[in-house]
Amino acid sequence: MPEKTFERTLVTSALPYANGYIHLGHIAGAYLPADIFVRYKRQKGEKVLYVGGSDEHGVPVTLTALREGITPKEVIDRYHTANAEAFKRLGISYDIYGRTSWPLHADTTQAFFTRLNDTGYIHEDEMELWYSEHLERFLPDRYVSGTCPKCGYTGANGDECESCGAQYSPHDLVSPRANIPGDDSSPVLRKSKHWFLDLPKFKDRLKAYLDSHPEWRANVRGIAYGWVEDLRSRCITRDTDWGVTIPLDDPEAEGKRIYVWFDAPIGYVTNTRQWGLDVKGDDAAWEPWWKDEATRLIHFIGKDNVPFHAIIFPAVLAGQDGFVLADNVVGNEYLNIFNRKTGKEEKGSKSKGNMISVKWMLEHFAPDIIRYYLCANAPESRDAAFDWDDLLKRYNGEICDVVGNFIHRSLTMTVKNFDGQVPEAGNLDEEDRALLDYLPTQIDAIGGALEDFRFRLALERVIDLGRRANVYFDARQPWVTRKTDLARTGSTLYACCQVVHALCHVLAPFTPDAARTLSAILGIHLPEGGPDGGVDGWNAGKNLLSPGAPLRKPTVLFPKLDKDRIAELAEAHQRGEAF
């Protein structure tokens, strides 16, 4: 199969649900990897657009509003604003961060729905659902609890028992109770008409689609293949008043809305449309990003999201007119939390109080620190755990001591001994050349890992570059030759400056603040890139600084973390103050 060539890359990160604050698990899974990838692509000068936004519909938002005595709109405004701010401060560099509550989104969603309906991919059916006569509203299964018909567990959900794992029809649940704010009445089953997406009709196309992507991660492929073998029609409407209205003339459609999971991924399209209007002033600017075969669409998600991005949304897109399907769905595992008291990893949960919000983290750490640790410890192929000691050890021991210190010792010595300029290369011997030859090789190795979505490995290779450079520095002993052979010292530091220059480029996707500071010290320009592309500022890292180029006095790029301070924060975290 010939390698497909693409002209532009459209990257999405899962839309976080605007019913809570984003936490570190979200970042490590769906946002930071996407941002690193996007920054890398931009730096290469490729055309890349990064789209995200808040997912703002669905019943849980209405229940939060009910609980707090405010409107759903107030709920989503609060979380949308806070999350957009957290992303921005962390340097998650969206080209647009949209909202599914935008009127434009109703238009996109309805167009998708109508097209599927007109082409026979949507059918009606009647369902029996729990209904609270007390609140005069339908209740999703998760908001009805009762006694499990199999094991007698009293905290069972409407259709599933958490205790024994049994699944059953709502009819079988014993003593059902509503489980939402202000209502613990006994719900009754009531019939309601709904609309279903006919997934089985897409089976062959989905199968062929999955077959054409053997390069996807094992976890994503495994989950997707599990689904495609057993596709069922899926209900895409709900009994609620909070969501996109159903574009049908049926009176039964009133009081119902399109299911949040149907409209959320469509938000990627809406937000691309809005980006075109805002940035290009062109209501057709979005189309190439979704309809040109030469567009490479990539979704970054957590593993819980795989069925929606590898099966359901591709089906929805396949049912449209000429939309591209994702070329890759990058699904991460989960970031757990290491509990220092018990010595065990546990799932982050609000009730345990062990979550760490991005907002709290940013109050205590520079974005580069958070980005470094979450990438170095990303849950790419298995669950990982956030651990304070590990954060301290890895950030201090790797990026500070190995990379940061190499940069600092090189630049300090150069500035002091060579009048603030890159020294003359002089007579380079085999050892110098070996180091200089290694640079483009390693830059390619880092870029290759990024192209393969292996962000941990890519970052490790950055650190390896620092390690290799420290070995060189120690072997050449410029602090000794300085007193005996200034030309030799110049050659050594010339080579070291080239390493620093390469590091500046390869650090940029991971730790953009440090890279920016370093580029100013080196007097170089790291191109921003963007949707229109630009010059290749990634491979420019392979170029060499010219002798005589001025250098500014270096500053510490990665200040070390204080052990006692980390211990204090870990304590605060343990007390549940980190969310």
Partner RNA sequence: GGCGGUGUAGCUCAGUUGGUUAGAGCAGUGGAAUCAUAAUCCACGUGUCCGCGGUUCGAGUCCGUGCACCGCUACCA
Token output for 274: 């809005």
Q: Name 280's Cβ contacts closer than 8 Å, sequence gap at least 6.
A: none
CA distance 109 to 243: 10
Q: Which residue of 151, 294, 434, 480 would you call a contact of RNA, by CB under 7 A? A: 480
Smallest gap, in angstroms, from Cβ of residue 15 to RNA?
A: 9
- Pick out residues in 104-143 that bind RNA (CB under 7 A): 127, 129, 140-142
Q: Which residue of 366, 425, 428, 457 would you call a contact of RNA, by CB under 7 A? A: 457
CA distance 550 to 334: 46
SS3 sequence of 69-97: CCCHHHHHHHHHHHHHHHHHHHCCCCCEE
Binding flag, residue 153, RNA (CB under 7 A): no
Q: Which residue of 103, 218, 281, 321 would you call a contact of RNA, by CB under 7 A? A: 218
Binding flag, residue 157, RNA (CB under 7 A): yes
Q: Which residue of 66, 235, 318, 325 would you call a contact of RNA, by CB under 7 A? A: 235
- Cβ atoms of 378 and 330 within 8 Å: the answer is no
Smallest gap, in angstroms, from Cβ of residue 287 to RNA?
A: 28
3-state secondary structure of 486: helix
CA distance 374 to 530: 24
Smallest gap, in angstroms, from Cβ of residue 525 to RNA?
A: 22
Binding flag, residue 79, RNA (CB under 7 A): no
| Residue whose C-alpha is closest to residue 183's, from 145, 239, 129, 237 | 145
Which of residues 203 and 364 has its CB atom nearest to RNA in the complex?
A: 203
Binding flag, residue 155, RNA (CB under 7 A): no
Smallest gap, in angstroms, from Cβ of residue 55 to RNA?
A: 5
CA distance 262 to 272: 17
CA distance 111 to 325: 18
CA distance 529 to 39: 8
The 137-139 sheet, strands edge to edge: 137-139, 122-132, 188-197, 234-235
- Phi, psi for 241 (deg, rounded to 5): -110, 10
- Pick out residues in 303-322 that bind RNA (CB under 7 A): 303-305, 307-308
- Pick out residues in 536-565 that bind RNA (CB under 7 A): 556-560
| Residue whose C-alpha is closest to residue 454's, from 367, 378, 387 | 378
Smallest gap, in angstroms, from Cβ of residue 400 to RNA?
A: 4
Which of residues 159 and 287 has its CB atom nearest to RNA in the complex?
A: 159
Region near RNA per CB under 7 A, out of 74-82, 231-239, 364-372, 564-572: 231-239
3-state secondary structure of 507: helix
- Pick out residues in 255-284 that bind RNA (CB under 7 A): 260-261, 264
- Cβ atoms of 509 and 527 within 8 Å: the answer is no
Q: Which residue of 232, 280, 350, 433 would you call a contact of RNA, by CB under 7 A? A: 232
Question: Which residue is associated with the tokens 């709904």?
Answer: 194
- Pick out residues in 44-73 that bind RNA (CB under 7 A): 55, 57-60
Smallest gap, in angstroms, from Cβ of residue 481 to RNA?
A: 10
Which of residues 288 and 466 has its CB atom nearest to RNA in the complex?
A: 466
- Phi, psi for 180 (deg, rounded to 5): -135, 165
Question: Which stretches of 368-497 are assigned E, i.e. beta strand?
Answer: 384-386
CA distance 235 to 229: 18
Binding flag, residue 347, RNA (CB under 7 A): yes
- Pick out residues in 386-405 that bind RNA (CB under 7 A): 393, 396-398, 400-402, 404-405
CA distance 541 to 443: 8
Which of residues 307 and 426 has its CB atom nearest to RNA in the complex?
A: 307
Binding flag, residue 448, RNA (CB under 7 A): no
State the DSSP code for 278. I
Binding flag, residue 413, RNA (CB under 7 A): yes
Binding flag, residue 199, RNA (CB under 7 A): yes
Q: Which residue of 30, 38, 75, 384 would you call a contact of RNA, by CB under 7 A? A: 384
Q: Which residue of 137, 194, 256, 296 would you call a contact of RNA, by CB under 7 A? A: 194
Binding flag, residue 470, RNA (CB under 7 A): yes
Region near RNA per CB under 7 A, out of 111-119, 352-360, 437-445, 467-475: 467-475
Binding flag, residue 198, RNA (CB under 7 A): no
Which of residues 480 and 535 has its CB atom nearest to RNA in the complex?
A: 480
Q: How many residues bind RNA (CB under 7 A)?
A: 84
State the DSSP code for 345. E
